[in-house]
Amino acid sequence: MNLQPIIRADGLCRRQGLRWVLVHLNFELQTGESLLLAGGNGAGKSTLLRLLSTLTPPSQGELELFGTSVKVNRRPQRNRIGLLGHTNQLYPELTPSDHLQLWSRLAGMELPKGLLDRVELADRAHDPARTFSAGMCKRLALARLMLLNPDLILLDEPFGQLDAQGVSLMQEAVEGWRDQGKTVVLATHLIERGKPLCDRALLLAHGRLKWTGPAAELSASMVAGADS
Amino acid sequence: MNLQPIIRADGLCRRQGLRWVLVHLNFELQTGESLLLAGGNGAGKSTLLRLLSTLTPPSQGELELFGTSVKVNRRPQRNRIGLLGHTNQLYPELTPSDHLQLWSRLAGMELPKGLLDRVELADRAHDPARTFSAGMCKRLALARLMLLNPDLILLDEPFGQLDAQGVSLMQEAVEGWRDQGKTVVLATHLIERGKPLCDRALLLAHGRLKWTGPAAELSASMVAGADS
Amino acid sequence: MTRQRVAAAFALVGLGLLSWGSYLGLWVAPPDRYMGDVQRIMYVHVPTAWLALVVFTLAFVYALLFLIRRTWRWDALHEATLEIGVLYTALLCIQGALWGKPTWGVYWAWDPRLTTVAVMLLSFAGILSLRHFLDDPLRRASWSATATILASANVPVVYYSVRWWNSLHQLQSTPKTVNSAMVEPLRINAFGLLALTIALIMIRSWIAEARRRRDLAPPLPEIEA
Amino acid sequence: MMALLHKEFLLAWRGRARVAASLTFAAATLLMFSFSAGADGRLLQRLAPGFLWLAILLASTLTLQASFDAETQDGALDGLILSASAASIFYAKALTNWLFLAALGFVLLPLIAALFDAQLGALDRLMSVLLLGTAGLAAPGTLYAALAGRSRAAGLMLPLLYFPLVIPALVSSVKASELAFFGDPMNQWGGWMSLLLAFCLIFWSLCGALSTAILEDG
Amino acid sequence: MMALLHKEFLLAWRGRARVAASLTFAAATLLMFSFSAGADGRLLQRLAPGFLWLAILLASTLTLQASFDAETQDGALDGLILSASAASIFYAKALTNWLFLAALGFVLLPLIAALFDAQLGALDRLMSVLLLGTAGLAAPGTLYAALAGRSRAAGLMLPLLYFPLVIPALVSSVKASELAFFGDPMNQWGGWMSLLLAFCLIFWSLCGALSTAILEDG
Ligand code: HEM
Ligand SMILES: Nc1ncnc2c1ncn2[C@@H]1O[C@H](COP(=O)(O)OP(=O)(O)OP(=O)(O)O)[C@@H](O)[C@H]1O
Ligand SMILES: Nc1ncnc2c1ncn2[C@@H]1O[C@H](COP(=O)(O)OP(=O)(O)OP(=O)(O)O)[C@@H](O)[C@H]1O
Ligand SMILES: [Mg+2]
Ligand SMILES: [Mg+2]
């Protein structure tokens, strides 16, 4: 594993509409490290994750992923990024097995067996996704990340909507990725669940970086205090 | 407070598409009691909440709210029900103050001051809801329930997307409703958060009622065990 | 069992009458003075037209009954009449077009009766397609009943407005007094098709009801604690 | 009801860019019509009233759909159904849609006159046709938009159900506008207007009554 | 690319009822046109090619929009953009839309012939006009649907941008169809077809190139 930073943000700013949502963020993340994004509602976590996914460009400042700026050709970077955001990126009319087939074909890989079993959707493999409950959609979205196994994995509120089994599935997945040396960035309000999974934490408040340090040192009171 | 059941389900069934999602539910809830709905992903919690809101009718069996069947005229019942479901029931183009004005006019009540302050949206009172983060939308939806103060309050994953402050706001709101003798039904995967707020619990698995009893007796292992 | 017998009897009587009437129409009745043998289409065309109207009227009645009574039987009958009505109007348009070509020289004319039939076909086909896009049985039943009522209320208005719209371009010859050798096969075919339609509606509504029962009656009544 | 109306106007006001866009859309359709009908000036002139109404009809499908999109996008309709009667929701929406369509028609008039070189004969007559004709479109359109917006193929279902239903309104509006444009030697204008009025009366009451079945069930 | 095409066909297949509905929609539009043009058979016959193309154009807006609705509803497009190139996403969608529109045109032909008493003169010519003309609609339409689908007023933006752009394709398709329907005494058909071909070539390549800007940025 090299020690080149996989993410390097330098004066990173993002404006949405009339509002500066992210202001002058400076941070680095080494390959294989995992990062916990904390912050109150509206702090800018989801926006930062979309920036890191290259789906939205920075309004100002510099963002480097895998050592190259996102302003240059993003195609090679994109193939190495996986995002699980507020949406699940599913087609309502397609079934889980359709989805898996599509994703594996797109990535040009073999479809591993038993993936749907792992996310406990095997008995619903041929029902369209529009008939799924909130947690089942999330599980299918997780299966996508398990399949693609990208180098940089961005998770926005990964524990939302999942039941206890789903949560431990997600935790195992994150641990598995960490063991493989993948980089995980995880934004959540349930910091007690997030902390054991992450090396470092980054606390946002009103779009500004309030604190960064080892994840274990982050406490609920720090998050609550950051907002005011 | 009378001891007439506010909810009475008798052989309640609901079919969605080709699947029986709720099967022969029998339970009662007294006015002023609050109920915790637990169950794994796809157990049928959201579906049950929509049935209780009268927005979807039962496919079979009997459901009585406020002492009258939902098959009869639902208008008087509906004015007494408030639902916070997976959607936030907001208009993307309208601002928080527009929303509050609409809701209070619809209910024919005065708009109390300081409501947006309580949900910490006062400084965004004139931004359209489409520019809000997930948690901010949820807060606005909470403000609606605080304003309308209905007799039967249905909450689907109320803690999702909210930060720590938002969660305690929600908890205070639920406690306030209980003190006023309102009935709250709350579906969540975070049962440790839900238990202190509820008198009784109801455990669903695959659409069937697995267990019902005092909320304090519900444990995570029971929820995990119910599915299999 | 008896229900099935009744339907079978109706179907048999209907088919029998239809073949008898068609025999009379095709071989016994004299050819038309102006149109020749082509005119023999009339023996199916006119009964189809009548029955299409009857079936859509029934659809309207059933839709109304469903909205008032809210019992599934009326929805099954509503579905049956909708589908058969659309089938008949489609057939009617095809027959009419085939007849129109040799007599009027065109497949289609913007004549009030024809236009109204086309509007009816589209309206009710739209409702069938709406039923397809609604998964929830109750929604499907009550929304499509609503649409049927609106569409049916519209048909006379369409007829009236199109007749007026088009008053300058009458293409169709006024119905002449049909000679009695022609009346008989026509009448027989009409009654035959009526009987067949009754059988079809019965059978189709059973199918609808069976489907609904399969869909709605819980196949898993395991009573648990 | 007043609260609902107020909300509809507020939505229209906040989405006024959309309103402007639908105007441009109607203008674009007019342009397309004239292109596909060919360059014959006399013919275009003759077809102008029909094209005016077609443009209104097409723009109406879009705005009707948009007006329910706002309701279904985040489930706002659920909240409304819990706190207001179906009929009041329906009439508030239908009224707003009517006003909008009528306004659209008024704005299109001078455009039509310019594009197709049509004399705007009897302007008072044209105005009343526009008012009544758009009323005829608004009521069934709003009901079907409510229905289509919550079925699976919203964009397709709406025109599919709505077009055949409004044929009488369309036909009589086109005819009445023709008579207003080109003169009315045989004094038929009143007849068409009564037909239109009858259509409006029937469907404004019928749709209001049926809105309960659509908004409260399911 | 094959995976993307496969997905598009799968989506079309799972939504096949929608395909049938859009056919009915096109038929309904034809009916509406004839109502607003009047009952004069000769006139209708003359306008038939124009109506054919207008019906295709209107149906295409609906299907184009539906094809991106499926992508944006739950953010599926985000996932696609991360794992496939913009051009391949664009061409897969454009190709499917083209095939669909061409099929729609073929089905409408006999209907047009029957309804408007238009002789299907040179059928081979008609077919090639349909193929080329729908190709001309599909490429810019898909691009703009991608753009509109991610803006706020999707339903309105698409036709607004798309209609003016495809005017050349529409005009030349209508002209070429007219010549195929009614005969071509002055041998102009080839000219219109070359224009159409040029339009297609330009826009299939241009839109493919621009798709990067629309799908990859923002
Ligand atoms: C409710 C609908 C309809 C009714 C009640 C109806 C009834 C009739 C009747 C009674 C006749 C016989 C007239 C005679 O022999 O003088 C007739 C003739 C005819 N009908 Fe229909 N018809 C209907 C719809 C249609 C449709 C949709 C078409 C489609 C093109 C059509 C095409 C014709 C033709 C071509 C003739 C013979 C031509 C003529 O006698 O002038 N009809 N129809
Ligand atoms: N289009 C927009 N226009 C204006 N402001 C916007 C827009 N989109 C987002 N914002 C603002 O950006 C801020 C950050 O939003 P973001 O969704 O990133 O928050 P978040 O940290 O994910 O919050 P949550 O925990 O609630 O999900 C919020 O204040 C939000 O209002
Ligand atoms: N339209 C539909 N067709 C078929 N099945 C459906 C439909 N809608 C919901 N279901 C099924 O109903 C079951 C219950 O769904 P519901 O959304 O109520 O679950 P839930 O308990 O809220 O789960 P979660 O915790 O994931 O939110 C699921 O198995 C789901 O697949
Ligand atoms: Mg967020
Ligand atoms: Mg749920």
| pLDDT higher than threshold 90 for residue A22 | yes
Minimum mean pLDDT range among A219-228, B71-80, E31-40, E173-182: E31-40
Across D22-50, b (16+ Cβ under 10 Å) vs e yields bbbbbbbbbbbbbbbbbeeeebbebbbbb
Distances (CA, A) of E80 to A97, A105, E12: 17, 12, 17
| pLDDT higher than threshold 70 for residue A3 | no
pLDDT of residue B155: 96
Take atom 31 of ligand 3 and give the residue whose Cα is closest.
A132
| DSSP state letters, E32-80 | HHHHHH-S-HHHHHHHHHHHHHHHHHHHHHHHHHHHHHHHHTTTHHHHH
Burial of E151 (0-12, 13-18, 19+ CB in 10 A): exposed
Higher local confidence (pLDDT), C21 or D206: D206
| pLDDT higher than threshold 70 for residue D192 | yes
For residue A9, give the nearest of A56, A70, A55, A93 by alpha carbon.
A70
pLDDT of residue C1: 63
Could you tell me what percent of chain A has a pLDDT over 70?
Answer: 98
Q: Ligand 4 mean position to B224 CA, how many Å?
A: 28
Take atom 17 of ligand 2 and give the residue whose Cα is closest.
B133
pLDDT of residue B49: 96
- Best of D161, D170, D193 to mutate (most C CBs within 10 Å, chain C): D161
- Is the separation of the CB atoms in C57 and C189 below 8 Å? no
DSSP three-state, residue B182: coil
| pLDDT higher than threshold 70 for residue C176 | no
Please indicate whether, in this complex, the C-beta atoms of A134 and B86 are within 8 angstroms of each other: yes
Please state, in angstroms and rounded to a whole number, the distance separating the CA atoms of residues D43 and D34. 10
- Best of E14, E42, E117 to mutate (most C CBs within 10 Å, chain C): E117
User: What average pLDDT does the segment C176-183 reach?
Assistant: 64
- Is the separation of the CB atoms in A119 and A143 below 8 Å? yes
Helix axes E2-14, E16-37, angle to 10 degrees: 70
pLDDT of residue E65: 86
- The first and second tokens of residue C35, run together, are 């149109």
- Residues A132-149 have pLDDT tens digits of 999 999 999 999 999 999
Q: Write down the ipTM of this complex.
A: 0.90
Other C-beta atoms lying within 10 Å of the C-beta of residue D154: 20
pLDDT of residue A127: 92
Residues of chain D in contact with residue B94, where contact means CB-CB under 8 angstroms, are: 7, 10-11, 14
- Residues within 6 Å of ligand 1 by CB: C 42, 45-46, 49, 53, 92-93, 96-97, 99-100, 103, 108, 113-114, 117, 172-173, 175-176
pLDDT of residue B1: 47
- Residues E69-128 have pLDDT tens digits of 888 889 999 999 998 888 999 999 999 999 999 999 999 998 888 888 777 767 888 899
Minimum mean pLDDT range among A155-164, A213-222, E159-168, E193-202: E159-168
Higher local confidence (pLDDT), E31 or B176: B176
Minimum mean pLDDT range among A53-62, C9-18, D152-161: D152-161
- Residues A165-212 have pLDDT tens digits of 999 999 999 999 999 999 999 999 999 999 999 999 999 999 999 999
Could you tell me what percent of chain B has a pLDDT over 90?
Answer: 75
DSSP three-state, residue B201: strand
* Share of chain B residues as helix, strand and coil, in percent rounded to the nearest 5: 35, 30, 35
**Side-chain-facing half-sphere of A24: CA atoms under 13 Å:** 1
- Please tell me if residue B116 touches chain C, with a CB cutoff of 8 Å: no
Please indicate whether, in this complex, the C-beta atoms of E27 and C122 are within 8 angstroms of each other: yes
- Residues B6-43 have pLDDT tens digits of 999 999 999 888 788 999 999 999 999 999 999 999 99
pLDDT of residue E123: 83
- Please tell me if residue B23 touches chain C, with a CB cutoff of 8 Å: yes
pLDDT of residue C2: 84
Higher local confidence (pLDDT), E218 or E108: E108
Using CB atoms and an 8 Å cut-off, which of residues 50-89 of chain B contact chain A? 86
- Residues E156-215 have pLDDT tens digits of 778 888 888 898 899 999 999 988 888 888 888 889 999 999 999 999 999 988 888 888
User: What average pLDDT does the segment C174-196 reach?
Assistant: 76
Please state, in angstroms and rounded to a whole number, the distance separating the CA atoms of residues B131 and D67. 20
pLDDT of residue D183: 82
| pLDDT higher than threshold 80 for residue C166 | no
Could you tell me what percent of chain C has a pLDDT over 70?
Answer: 86
Instruction: Identify the residue whose tokens are 């010859």.
Output: C173
Higher local confidence (pLDDT), C41 or C82: C82
Ligand nearest to the CA of A47: 2
Minimum mean pLDDT range among B101-105, C118-122, D213-217: D213-217
- Is the separation of the CB atoms in C24 and C185 below 8 Å? yes
User: What is the widest separation between alpha-carbon atoms in chain B?
Assistant: 50
Minimum mean pLDDT range among B115-119, B216-220, C6-10, E158-162: E158-162
- Is the separation of the CB atoms in B161 and A160 below 8 Å? yes
- Residues B35-66 have pLDDT tens digits of 999 999 999 999 999 999 999 989 889 999 99
- Selecting from D14, D83, D85 the residue whose C-beta is nearest the C-beta of B94 gives D14
pLDDT of residue A1: 47
Residues of chain E in contact with residue D167, where contact means CB-CB under 8 angstroms, are: 31-32, 35
User: What average pLDDT does the segment A57-77 reach?
Assistant: 88
pLDDT of residue C70: 86
Beta strands per DSSP E along chain B: 5-16, 19-30, 34-39, 60-65, 68-69, 81-84, 152-156, 183-187, 200-205, 208-214
Minimum mean pLDDT range among A19-33, A63-77, B153-167, E148-162: E148-162
- Run of H or E including B118: helix B115-118
- The first and second tokens of residue E61, run together, are 């807006």
Q: Which residues are E100's β-sheet partners?
A: none
| pLDDT higher than threshold 90 for residue B75 | no
Residues of chain A in contact with residue E7, where contact means CB-CB under 8 angstroms, are: 91, 94, 102
Q: Is E187 left (phi over 0), alpha (psi -120 to 50) or beta?
A: left
Please indicate whether, in this complex, the C-beta atoms of C216 and B18 are within 8 angstroms of each other: no
| Residue E39 pLDDT class (50, 70, 90 cuts) | low
| Residue C177 pLDDT class (50, 70, 90 cuts) | low
Q: Ligand 2 mean position to A89 CA, how many Å?
A: 20
Mean residue pLDDT of chain B comes to 91
- The first and second tokens of residue B163, run together, are 């930060």
